[in-house]
Amino acid sequence: MTGNDLVRSDAATLRDLFARGEVSATEITRAHLERIRSVDPRIDAFHAVTAASAEQQASDLDRRRALGEPTGPLGGVPVAIKDVLCVRGVPATCGSRILESFVPPFDATCVERLRAAGAVVIGKTNMDEFAMGSSTEHSAFKQTKNPWDLQRVPGGSSGGSAAAVAAFETPLAIGTDTGGSIRQPAAFTSTVGLKPTYGRISRYGLVAFASSLDQAGPFTRTVKDAAIALQAMAGADPRDMTCSIEPVADYVAVAEGGGASIKGLRVGVPREFSGDGLDADVRQAVKRCHEALQARGAEIIDVSLPTTDYAIAVYYIVATAEASSNLARFDGVRYGLRDAEATTLRDMYERTRDAGFGDEVKRRIMLGTYALSAGYYDAYYLKAMKVRTLIRRDFDEAFRKVDILVGPTTPSAAFRFGDKLDDPLSMYLSDIYTVTANLAGIPGLSLPCGFT
Ligand code: GLN
């Protein structure tokens, strides 16, 4: 196989080739590192490429395979990690100046499990600062381009992970999704993006944005690969008490049953997901998807999620409130950047945070602090929490009638750089179809169903 064949293979294929001894982990790793060297200067998906440690990991795998040891469900498969997750010995910047020099001394649980499954960590991917954004334009370091059209954004906040998979730099990348940051960039780059149920994958080693919403998950080019990656990462973790202790189901078996009949599957189509803001081409693609499901025997059922109208408002109160609290720890004392000129403690806090955080992060901290402050707490935060419960109930109600909901991931396809940068509200509105899943804690999968 040529290097070009290897980078165009999906994770399951690479794993099988490696397990059968038809190709070494070193060859797979080198092919992808070479691909990154040739295309990433134009895409800018990666914040850091960990070539030396990847080669080391690959040669360890090759040695173990030669000894006849099991190679694992992701044996020899390259994986790129969003820079909000900790990888031992590699800076975890979160796309922020304030953490530019922070080097975690440990692996996030999901990274540890990917390695245990045989995956090879090839680098860290670019992202919106602290995962706040929908275009990756809020990264303090660089702008990741959409591989399909370099004038357009890859989506965000996990734009680097999405672009890396779309550009064949890796068959698997990990992102995080607080309000859509896996699904929206997956939709913008024509990749598969899975946000698991809240708590399905441990958040240990995931730098918190909004703790009650954050969830890590995979980007891949096939649904089966997403199932394999989820299977490897999911499961209880004593280091994260919000991590579910539910047994892990056999997702791979389900995905492999892809040819099985969907006759009688009840597919809900939320009325509120085809409103005015939805572009005609997206509407058309989703309609074709519904027709395809129907042609295969699924039953299409009209459902309503009436609280959808409030979702963006609720999300941006809950997420910013939690962010303002989570980001208080970046004070120049414990992690990363510190202003050395300051003469008093207060001055040091102020100067460090002013220089370390970008505009969008400061905007969120101010919004969240306001929503939590005495006198406004009841009117904003408490009210938002109540409406969050109503959103959850809408889904409970819908799932009494249907097995799954199928609708658009985003109101439009990928937009151009700068289009929404000066208008935070229009940027926020690109999450309209994704934030409800996080507020309700349910899983969501974005997969290609058309191209524009
Ligand atoms: N775009 C949303 C935001 O800016 C979602 C981000 C995310 O899921 N991390 O908050």
C-alpha 165 – ligand 1 centre gap (Å): 20
Nearest CA to ligand 1 atom 5: 179
Nearest CA to ligand 1 atom 10: 132
Query: What is the average pLDDT score of the chain?
Result: 96
Q: Distance between CA atoms of 415 and 394, rounded to whole angstroms?
A: 31
Confidence of residue 275 (pLDDT cuts 50, 70, 90): confident
- The predicted-structure confidence for 103-156, as pLDDT tens digits, reads as follows 999 999 999 999 999 999 999 999 999 999 999 999 999 999 999 999 999 999
Q: Name residues contacting ligand 1 (CB within 6 A).
A: 131-134, 157, 177-181, 209, 319, 431
Catalytic residue annotation: 82, 157, 181
| pLDDT bucket at 259, cuts 50 / 70 / 90 | low
Ligand 1 center from residue 166 Cα (angstroms)? 20
264 pLDDT above the threshold of 80: yes
Q: Per residue in 334-361, pLDDT tens? A: 888 999 899 999 999 999 999 999 999 9
Amino acid identity at 21: G
Residue 46 forms beta bridges with which residues? 125
CA 178–ligand 1 middle distance (angstroms):
6
Q: Are 348 and 90 in contact (CB under 8 A)?
A: no
Q: Which two tokens stand for residue 270?
A: 């939320």
Please report the pLDDT score of residue 258 as a whole number: 60
Q: What angle do CA 284, 397, 223 make, to 5 degrees?
A: 50
Q: Does the predicted model carry a pTM greater than 0.95?
A: yes
* Chain Cα centroid distance, residue 211: 15
User: What is the average per-residue pLDDT within 35-52?
Assistant: 98
Confidence at residue 277, expressed as pLDDT on a 0 to 100 scale: 85
Q: What digits encode the pLDDT tens for the residues 426-446?
A: 888 889 999 999 999 999 999
